[in-house]
Amino acid sequence: MLRRRLSRLCAGEEKRVGTRTVVVGHRPVLETDAYVAQKFCDNRIVSSKYTLWNFLPKNLFEQFRRIANFYFLIIFLVQVIVDTPTSPVTSGLPLFFVITVTAIKQGYEDWLRHRADNEVNKSNVFIVENAKQVQKESEKIKVGDIVEVKADETFPCDLIFLASSSIDGTCYVTTASLDGESNFKTHYAVRDTTVLCTDEAIDALTATIECEQPQPDLYKFVGRIIIYRSNQEPVARSLGPENLLLKGATLKNTKKIYGVAVYTGMETKMALNYQGKSQKRSAVEKSINAFLIVYLCILLSKATVCTTLKYVWQSNPFNDEPWYNEKTKKERDTFKVLRMFTDFLSFMVLFNFIIPVSMYVTVEMQKFLGSFFISWDKEMYDEEIKEGALVNTSDLNEELGQVEYVFTDKTGTLTENSMEFIECCIDGHKYKDCLSEVDGFSQTDGPLKYGKAEKSREELFLRALCLCHTVQIKEADQVDGLIGHPERKYSYISSSPDEIALVKGAEKYGFTFLGLENDFMKIRNQKNETEMYQLLHVLNFDPVRRRMSVIVRTTTGKLLLFCKGADSSIFPRVQQEEIQQTKVHVDRNAMDGYRTLCVAFKELTQKEYDKIDRQLNEAKMALQDREEKMAKVFEDAEADMHLIGATAVEDRLQEQSAETIEALHAAGMKVWVLTGDKMETAKSTCYACRLFQTSTELLELTAKTVGESERKEDRLHELLMEYHKKLIQDVPKNRGGLKRSWTLSQEYGLIIDGSTLSLILNPSQDSSSSNYKNIFLQICLKCTAVLCCRMAPLQKAQIVRMVKNTKGSPITLSIGDGANDVSMILEAHVGIGIKGKEGRQASRNSDYAVPKFKHLRKLLLAHGHLYYVRIAHLVQYFFYKNLCFILPQFLYQFFCGFSQQPLYDAAYLTMYNICFTSLPILAYSLLEQHISIDMLTSDPQLYMKVSDNAMLQWRPFLYWTFLGAFEGLVFFFGVYFLFQNSSLEDNGKIFGNWTFGTIVFTVLVFTVTLKLALDTRFWTWMNHFVIWGSLAFYVFFSFFWGGVIWPFLKQQRMYFVFAHMLTSVSTWLAIILLIFISLFPEILLIVLKNIKEKNHQSSRKAPDSLSARPSVRPLLLRTFSDESNVL
């Protein structure tokens, strides 16, 4: 019987696998039916990765997936299994340290997640059972439970809104924890359940809900509720996002609500959005991997050379088996190949410290700790929103110093997204400031039109502005003195700043929107009379349609459809003879940089309305393809309208956005603007923010230049070839010059729109159009600036991907503030979100978030530059100091018969990277400023000096490698020549091999530490503490390990070695002399560099004739002189 009823209600809509059925309150529809609870997940939130039982195996598995960790594990196992010259402790302890530190960090982070999960899961909620409120823990909520939520409480799961304390069945919600939007959103209860606002009434409800299976889109929901009443046919109502209250959102300005749980626990939309973004890797990591391969080859070659020479040496029987060290029977019987392999592994173990395992931990710590400097930067704090910069991904800090292409949104990024109503036009007549003022068009605008529009048309237009929107009224707190006062006692709230600007614009002209009450919209007209309109349907805005409509009924019964939207979506749907007089006005406003919207209306007959109403209700009830079905109804309803007029709203440029773009250009970056706005508006904004200069020649690939005819592909081909010839074929090749400089004497800018871009990126199968993309890309790369207008979100991502995948893989950065920018933010190497007024989806999905576009200047030119220099120095220094460390060990084998005798004591081998040399480079990589931040921000061309991964190319890498090899040779042979005089003490005692190794190690530790001190330009107390403290700790440890401070250690081989070594004056002199000789090339280089810089500074005082971008230079000079007070 139930099945028959349902099939009658939802004819043609068979139940599909992609839906779920929820029984409200677990009450079976018919008393004769046996209720079988469906299995849904519980309401526990689990954001943690580990449990107490799987932490160790899971964490170890994840860590040993890293190549370096796995390599050292193999080395450690070789030391354990094979008789190697060094103790397994030498590689086991550093590996244990690295694994332990990482495990503790990850374990602590996971413990915090466990604690946060428990706070949510154990919180108390109220559930209605048997007409009573029952208090339970949040994790015990089941799908189908009726939950009561009070004001300022957070929704414990995703609920379908059934009833509230408000008579009209509405509630206000903030979703700051979901998408960052702090404005109130209005949600609506199911129409038939709004009266059920007590525990007894709501518990008596018998209903089932059919809805889609869980999916992560916060703004999408499709379902229907079927309500059963005794002796009546079931009633079916559609459910949409406006009926769904999301877990994590907070109830505001409403005493209480009742809702039924539809998604719980890890199936809630909030939990489904936990899934992180795809991992982005920086170019530095690729360089590290390349350098590792080189050093691995060095390691293998060293082991191969030593193994080969060992057997050459042992080919002499006396060397192979001297009289004092005869072989055992087991050694004689061993296969020679096996012995050679074992010896090879032993040499690998002896030299394995050339691969710096501790570098990975240091790099991780540098990135993690370094990211706090961005968050702490007071200059990037915005007083208006009381927030500063935010780092979501610390893995990409150095990538900020390597950006070549910047892709930026326009609205809310370059502009403030703070809309102000400027003017409007009604039937071609312009209205500005007040309704009585009439300002005719000038001659250049087209046909002159004086006078005013008819009064009825004026009122119709203003009523359209008051009715066609989704603005809500938020009442202010009532104060006795204000009641009856003419000043407004409420504020407008909306998800779009444009809508509020238009409603305020109508109010300026005498028509005031008073709010929505019981489906009736109230407005006050110019005569101070209140008008009531029944709101029948809202045809919501979406980026594809680019318009929205409302259908209302007047008190006289007349049915009206009002529509507002972009001119491109309105003009094709109105009478063609009405367009021209308004189009003139719209085009002029767009050229002035204003955002324009056109307003149209249509009077409906009852028959037409009934048809639309029926089709809309059918579409709303669909569980599959609901959006497509509704879009079809909207399309039919919004046909054959009449144009009334247009509006112009100003979106002011953000403070210092023009100066920021100029600085980015001067730093060698190319800036592309990707916007959904119309071409004229975007173009004027680009001129205002100096993306285009007055001397820039603009090349257009738009619907206007390509045309709409069938020959548009041929015309596009002609234009592409013409521009390609102008920019590439006719321009002489660049011979040297400045890196990243523009080679063209004439600057070019390109403008392209979405429809033309579709032709280029998705050409027809015709072979002639297959290479459009390559030609277009070559043109783009030669232009100094590119403007892409009328872009869909997906097209923005396509543009970024196209540039990202070009030859050389340039580093791309995308910056935007809205949900439509998320795709390009995720696509770019570095994504930056602006904490704007279009919600926080962009900042939530970004790698970094900043309050304003102007902060991009310091983020890239100062922070990015410094992070790159620091981490590049860190990587090169680690390889250098490990080569210095292991080369003497390799050379020592030539003097010990390739017997695999270690040069250094096991304690020194173990602690070299962990204790003696790790903290100075970490402090350097966090604090170093080789150029002051003020200088970096004021002189953008300094950014180009480190561009293209300049400090991690093969040339600097080879310099560091040769420096390490030179110093390693000095350490070893300097001490070797010292030992030519075998008696170094007055009493004739002879120093042994451990003293030899300790002198080499002492010179090594002091040299690599002082090398870092020479490289340090920005000294703080912390640098002094770690550099001199590390050297002092080495001396202290050597005394301790030698049994001087801790006499219980006197049984081991290093007993009193360090102390005896320092009793020799020759040793003191040798250490000081060898340190000086090792550092002499570096000191000489620094002196020469300082002389060169002084000469350069004196020459810069003379007029600078060199300019990387000729037409920018005067503007740059002006910009920096203007900003001298700010920086």
Residues 161-170: pLDDT tens digits?
A: 999 888 778 8
Could you tell me what percent of the chain has a pLDDT over 70?
82
Contact call for residues 762 and 776 (beta carbons, < 8 A):
no
| CA-CA-CA-CA dihedral for 999, 1002, 1005, 1010, to nearest 10 | -110
Does residue 301 carry a pLDDT above 80?
Answer: yes
Does residue 386 carry a pLDDT above 60?
Answer: yes
More confident residue, 464 or 480: 464
Taking only the tens place, the pLDDT of each residue in 131-149 is 888 999 999 999 999 999 9
| Buried/exposed 61-98: b ≥16 CB within 10 Å, e otherwise | eebeeeebbebbbebbebbeeeebbbbbebbbbbbebb
Q: Which residues pair with 948 in a beta bridge?
A: none
Question: Is the sign of the CA dihedral 835, 836, 837, 843 positive or negative?
Answer: negative
The stretch 766-788 carries a mean pLDDT of 78
The stretch 285-299 carries a mean pLDDT of 85
Burial class, 1077, CB count within 10 angstroms (exposed 0-12 / middle 13-18 / buried 19+): middle
Taking only the tens place, the pLDDT of each residue in 1030-1071 is 999 988 888 887 766 666 655 566 677 777 777 778 888 888
Two structure tokens written together for 595: 């955002």
Does residue 1004 carry a pLDDT above 90?
Answer: yes
Does residue 787 carry a pLDDT above 80?
Answer: yes
Residue 351 neighbours by CB under 8 Å, 6+ apart:
299, 302, 303, 886, 889, 890
Determine whether 592 is an active site residue.
no
More confident residue, 316 or 388: 388
- For residue 13, the model assigns a pLDDT of 39
Q: Cα–Cα distances in Å, from 1088 out to 175, 1085, 1095?
A: 60, 5, 11
- For residue 276, the model assigns a pLDDT of 46
- For residue 235, the model assigns a pLDDT of 86
* Mean pLDDT across the chain: 79
Contact call for residues 684 and 602 (beta carbons, < 8 A):
no
The stretch 108-129 carries a mean pLDDT of 85
Does residue 931 carry a pLDDT above 60?
Answer: yes
pLDDT band at 430 (very low <50, low <70, confident <90, very high): confident
More confident residue, 230 or 6: 230
- The DSSP result for 906-971, as a single string, is HHHHHHIIIIISHHHHHHHHHH--SS-HHHHHH-GGGGGGGTTTGGGSHHHHHHHHHHHHHHHHHH
- For residue 274, the model assigns a pLDDT of 57
Contact call for residues 117 and 40 (beta carbons, < 8 A):
no
Least confident of 13-27, 83-97, 186-200: 13-27
Does residue 1105 carry a pLDDT above 60?
Answer: no
Does residue 82 carry a pLDDT above 80?
Answer: no
- For residue 839, the model assigns a pLDDT of 56
Beta strands in 85-152 (DSSP E): 124-129, 132-137, 146-150
Please report which helix (H) or strand (E) contains residue 1122, including its range. Answer: helix 1113-1123
Two structure tokens written together for 678: 């119309």
67-81 vs 336-351: helix axis angle to the nearest 10? 130
SS3 category, 5: helix
Two structure tokens written together for 568: 């491109």
Contact call for residues 165 and 151 (beta carbons, < 8 A):
no
Taking only the tens place, the pLDDT of each residue in 878-920 is 999 999 998 998 998 888 877 878 888 888 888 888 888 889 9
- For residue 127, the model assigns a pLDDT of 92
The stretch 6-28 carries a mean pLDDT of 61
Does residue 476 carry a pLDDT above 80?
Answer: no
pLDDT band at 561 (very low <50, low <70, confident <90, very high): very high
Least confident of 454-468, 558-572, 1046-1060: 1046-1060
- For residue 741, the model assigns a pLDDT of 46
d(CA 607, CA 353): 86
pLDDT band at 871 (very low <50, low <70, confident <90, very high): very high
The residue annotated as part of the active site, out of 158, 203, 395, 409, is 409
- For residue 317, the model assigns a pLDDT of 66
Question: Is the sign of the CA dihedral 703, 704, 710, 712 positive or negative?
Answer: negative
Taking only the tens place, the pLDDT of each residue in 614-673 is 888 888 777 677 778 888 888 888 888 999 999 998 877 788 888 898 899 888 888 999
Taking only the tens place, the pLDDT of each residue in 510-539 is 889 988 887 788 898 888 888 899 888 888
Q: What pTM value is reported for the model?
A: 0.71
Does residue 822 carry a pLDDT above 60?
Answer: yes
- For residue 486, the model assigns a pLDDT of 45
Contact call for residues 619 and 629 (beta carbons, < 8 A):
yes
Contact call for residues 607 and 583 (beta carbons, < 8 A):
no
Please report which helix (H) or strand (E) contains residue 620, including its range. Answer: helix 606-621
Does residue 872 carry a pLDDT above 60?
Answer: yes
pLDDT band at 1101 (very low <50, low <70, confident <90, very high): low
More confident residue, 775 or 794: 775
Burial class, 931, CB count within 10 angstroms (exposed 0-12 / middle 13-18 / buried 19+): middle
Two structure tokens written together for 742: 């523009």
The stretch 442-448 carries a mean pLDDT of 36
Contact call for residues 506 and 514 (beta carbons, < 8 A):
no
- For residue 988, the model assigns a pLDDT of 55
- For residue 8, the model assigns a pLDDT of 40
d(CA 1095, CA 953): 28
pLDDT band at 262 (very low <50, low <70, confident <90, very high): very high
